[in-house]
Amino acid sequence: MNAAMIIGPFLPAYSRILPQSADYVRVLPEIVLSIFGMIVMVLEPLIDEKKSQKVLGGIALAGALAGLMATWLMAQSPGMAFWNTVQIDGFSVFFHILVTAIAAVVILTSYEYMSVQRIRAGEYYALILFGAVGMALMSSAIELVLIFIALEISSISSYVLAGFRRREASSAEASLKYFLLGSFATAFFLYGVALMFGATGSTNIDQIGKTLLAGPIPLLAFAAMAFMFVGLGFKVAAAPFHVWTPDVYEGSPAPIVGFMSTAPKAAAFAVLLRIVFVINVPGKFWLIWISAALSMTLGNVGALVQNNVKRLLAYSSIAHAGYLLVAFAASPGLGTSAAMFYTAAYAAMNLGAFAVVSHFANAGERYVNLEDYEGLGRSSPLLAAALTIFLLSLIGIPMTGGFFAKFYVFSAAVKANMIWLTIIGVLNSGIGAYYYLRIIVAMYMRESRRDVPVTPVPTALAVAIAFCMAATLYLGIFPGETLRYAQDSAQQLVQSSAETPASTAPLIVPATLRP
Amino acid sequence: MNFHLILFLAFGAVCVGGAVNLLAQRHPINSALSLIAVMAALAGEYLLLGAEFVAAVQVIVYAGAIMVLFVFVIMLLNAGEEEETKGSRVAILFGVPGMLIASVLMAWVVLRHSGTEAVAIGALPGNPTDLAQLLFHDFLLPFEVTSVLILIAIMGAVVLASKPDSTAGKVE
């Protein structure tokens, strides 16, 4: 008598209780990334330390690429999984691709950095992969409890990664600061979840949206929204919860800063998009308006006086969080697609910029000040050219991804009649141009005053930079494809929520710039 | 006023008293002991509300395991009596009124606006069967994903606590 005969009569009951194979397919990227993370962990003590850099990095890279493939499989079966805790739609697929691609680029960037800085490899790559698990899950989870756990996975891996330059006091400071303030912010988020449960009797985002739409909105829901915004605002480094950013970015390893400033932010923005547009609590408008205006202004003004390039880019990332938040105050359809496009473009250009910075920093990250970049245009023209393109994209010059990202966000804001916020945003972009240009001017128009060694660019890093550059230029010259995808999935997302479908009229693109 | 309510208020008083004492005590070990009182009293409150499983877990996990950890940490750090600094006086100056305002506001919101009616004791799900149904069915994925969270937390602690290799990360 075999097992099938015994459980045969109970099969219908079992199939109700047990997760189906479709459930597993819908979390396949997370499963694949976790498995590769564990392989890296297990192999680390078995491999000779001299070889471990290359081998473990290779396995981690294979893991990230396998995660991308798993995402493709996952995209074939959209729907809910695990009893309405996970929802796979165009929106979550978009952020899955973004997060795993970021992880792959960061792993490529880290190859050289790790050996130059002499950092042990094993846990480093495993933490990147596990962090990606959390971030990917944040984008597909529609259950606040699951979102909280995924957020913690992404945060804790970032806290540890920030402290990987073990010999530097500044890295320990970054890790500890990030950990203490981050735990505080997560507690805010969790409190918000609890209050939301108190207000609506559910922790499922769809369910909460329906409950709030059906009846009078309890006062608790406003408090819940505010608390959750504090928690997520910290994670995306939006003002007034941004104070940690410069110190943490300055102390952390440069490739990790590239990672921290893009992947967890993208995931937190994905959560915020779902919360803001699906739950749709009134009162969020001013919350976001003020935070967006503050982030843009404080970020850009703070960046003006920075001399350390990592700090400068930290303030710039605060400013970019502000631009992105502008999209959240717009109408759901336009706002979501503009925000999605912006996160992708921002990830490409910022990762690229930090890849260049991490190569240039050299052992012990000695060369991270503006003076060190003087004369780089002559001593290393290709590297300087790449950095110039990323910086131009961060300014928002046409032909780069940054231009269309800003353009879509601001046009969504104008359509929602937020003239003042748009004016603040455009003025801030002008201020922003100054400090990005300062780096470019230093590279091309100044003679090198210090003896800064320029090492040849290794293949892995060259691939990473080339990929970021290709993505930046692709989004700047042919934004149509990505934007259409973002608009479609935004429409899906908005329609799946209980509210009336928003206008999804195509954005006006100036004729000359139309792809 | 029935006996049930009297017990509920008594446990509540112990709970609040313990919490205030926790803050007022100078020596960390005294604070830790009053935290045990808070945890035990909370377990009593849960029991009175008909959540016997949560009450048992509260005693085992919080009053048991977590408090032992607290005491160990205090012992290992050899923490002594804390001194009153300028900062702590400022914290009291702003913290006490701030806390009062926050709790009054919270009480007002909960009492006046939450729109929840009184529920009979034991009417809400809280027994082990209900919890198992939630934990291993409805919340199966969050439950499983927690293992990744614990794994990276352990890994992170090992990484950050290990001695940096003599060769690693050194600036030549």
CA angle (A26 as vertex; A22, A32 as ends), nearest 5? 115
The two three-digit tokens of residue A200, written as one number: 């609506």
Q: Does B98 touch chain A (CB under 8 A)?
A: no
Chain A: closest CA distance from residue B144 (Å): 10
Domain-terminating residue out of B47, B65, B83: B83
Q: Using one digit for the tens of pLDDT, what is the confidence trace for A214-256? A: 888 888 888 899 999 999 999 999 989 999 999 999 999 999 9
Residue B170 lies in a domain: no
- Encode A118-169 in three state secondary structure: CCCCHHHHHHHHHHHHHHHHHHHECEHHHHHHHHHHHHHHHHHHHCCCCCCH
- pTM to 2 decimals? 0.86
Domain-terminating residue out of B54, B83, B112: B83
Q: Are B78 and B131 members of one domain?
A: no
Q: Are B64 and B132 members of one domain?
A: no
Please answer yes or no on whether A85 and B139 come within 8 Å at the CB atom: yes
Q: Which amino acid is at A272?
A: L
Q: Are A377 and A444 in contact (CB under 8 A)?
A: yes
Q: Does A364 touch chain B (CB under 8 A)?
A: yes
Q: Sorting pLDDT into bands at 50, 70 and 90, what band is A365?
A: confident
Please answer yes or no on whether B138 and A83 come within 8 Å at the CB atom: yes
A115 Cβ contact list (under 8 Å, min separation 6) = A53
How many beta carbons lie within 10 A of that of residue A117, not counting itself?
A: 26
Give the H or E element holding residue B18: helix B3-24
CA–CA gap between residue B130 and residue B138 (Å, rounded) = 11
Please answer yes or no on whether B169 and A19 come within 8 Å at the CB atom: no
Residue B97 lies in a domain: no
CA–CA gap between residue A11 and residue B48 (Å, rounded) = 40
Counting the structural domains of chain B, the total is: 2
Asked whether the bond before A282 is cis by omega within 30 degrees of 0, the reply is no
CA–CA gap between residue A342 and residue A396 (Å, rounded) = 11
Strand runs labelled E in B12-163: none
B93 Cβ contact list (under 8 Å, min separation 6) = none
CB-based contacts of A422-430 (< 8 A; 24+ apart in sequence): A422/A326, A424/A293, A424/A296, A424/A297, A425/A292, A425/A296, A425/A322, A425/A323, A425/A326, A428/A296, A428/A297, A428/A299, A428/A300, A428/A319, A428/A322, A428/A323, A429/A323, A429/A395, A429/A396
Residue B36 lies in a domain: yes
The two three-digit tokens of residue A83, written as one number: 């009893």
Give the H or E element holding residue A81: strand A79-81
- Residue numbers of A between 171 and 210 with CB closer than 8 Å to B: 175, 198-199
Domain that holds residue B46: 1-83
Residue B93 lies in a domain: no
Q: Which of A149, A163, A164 sits opposite B149 (nearest CB)?
A: A149
Q: Are B15 and B70 members of one domain?
A: yes
Instruction: Choose from A40, A124, A149 for mutation: most chain B CBs within 10 A.
Output: A149
Q: Does A346 touch chain B (CB under 8 A)?
A: no
How many beta carbons lie within 10 A of that of residue A244, not counting itself?
A: 18
Residue B99 lies in a domain: no
CATH number at residue B14: 1.20.120.1200
Average pLDDT of span A489-515 = 53
A387 pLDDT exceeds 90?
yes
3-state secondary structure of A499: coil
Q: Are B142 and B72 members of one domain?
A: no
Q: Are A408 and A507 in contact (CB under 8 A)?
A: yes
Q: Using one digit for the tens of pLDDT, what is the confidence trace for A137-188? A: 999 999 999 999 999 999 999 999 999 988 888 999 999 999 999 999 999 9
Q: Are B1 and B75 members of one domain?
A: yes
pLDDT-wise least confident of A450-459, B55-64, B92-101, B115-124: B115-124
Q: Are A230 and A185 in contact (CB under 8 A)?
A: yes
Residue B120 lies in a domain: no
CA–CA gap between residue A347 and residue A340 (Å, rounded) = 11
CA angle (A83 as vertex; A81, A89 as ends), nearest 5? 35
A498 pLDDT exceeds 50?
no
- Residue numbers of B between 125 and 164 with CB closer than 8 Å to A: 137-142, 145-146, 148-149, 151-153, 155-156, 158-160, 164
Residue B79 lies in a domain: yes
A399 pLDDT exceeds 70?
yes
Q: Which of B149, B168, B170 sits opposite A153 (nearest CB)?
A: B149
Q: Are B76 and B135 members of one domain?
A: no
Which chain A residue has the Cα nearest residue B142?
Answer: A146
pLDDT-wise least confident of A176-190, B84-98, B149-163: B84-98
Q: Are B75 and B132 members of one domain?
A: no
CA–CA gap between residue A193 and residue A182 (Å, rounded) = 17
How many interface pairs between A and B have CB atoms less than 8 angstroms apart?
106
What is the pLDDT, as a whole number, of residue B114? 58
Q: Does A152 touch chain B (CB under 8 A)?
A: yes
Residue B111 lies in a domain: no
CA–CA gap between residue B70 and residue B61 (Å, rounded) = 12
